[in-house]
Amino acid sequence: MSNKLNLNVMFSFLCITQTFKYLKKFKPKILILILGMIGAELLNIDYGWYGIACSLLMLEFKITQAWILGWSLTNIVYAIYCGWLPQMFAIFAPLILLFYKADHDQKPSAIEKRFFYYFYPIHIASLAALKSLM
């Protein structure tokens, strides 16, 4: 049995929000960012330092050479760090954002809203029932 904590994605969100909160409050932003990333690794949260780095990059999403370099290096280093090379395909994720047009957004209908409220628990229950049949 491992003594390491294995905290899920909710703890990742908590670590990310706390890092961002302190990034806004204090001046040595690089120090706060590094401390948040080290903390994420020490706590062994899902995605670790990568979750904080990608969230910050997406928060500052502007296609510039510096942004593309930062995004690419973050994904390449993480793919090597975690030993899972298909992760490098995340480099292409921002392409989706390039085609997003906020002015074409529509409010979801009542049916669409309810679908997403009920879909997750129903599909989890279905998977649990399927597992119990196996």
Cα 99 to chain centroid distance, Å, stands at 20
Average pLDDT (85-100) is: 84
pLDDT over 60 at 1, yes or no: no
Number of domains in the chain: 1
Q: Tell me if 42 is assigned to some domain.
A: yes
Q: Tell me if 33 is assigned to some domain.
A: yes
Type of residue numbered 71: W
**pLDDT per position as a tens digit, 17-63:** 999 999 888 888 889 989 999 999 898 888 889 999 999 898 888 88
pLDDT mean across residues, the chain: 85
Q: Tell me if 25 is assigned to some domain.
A: yes
Q: Tell me if 14 is assigned to some domain.
A: yes
pLDDT > 70 in the chain, percent: 96
- Whether the model clears a pTM of 0.75, i.e. scores above it, the answer is no
Report DSSP state, residue 43.
Answer: T
Residue 81 is part of which domain span?
9-102
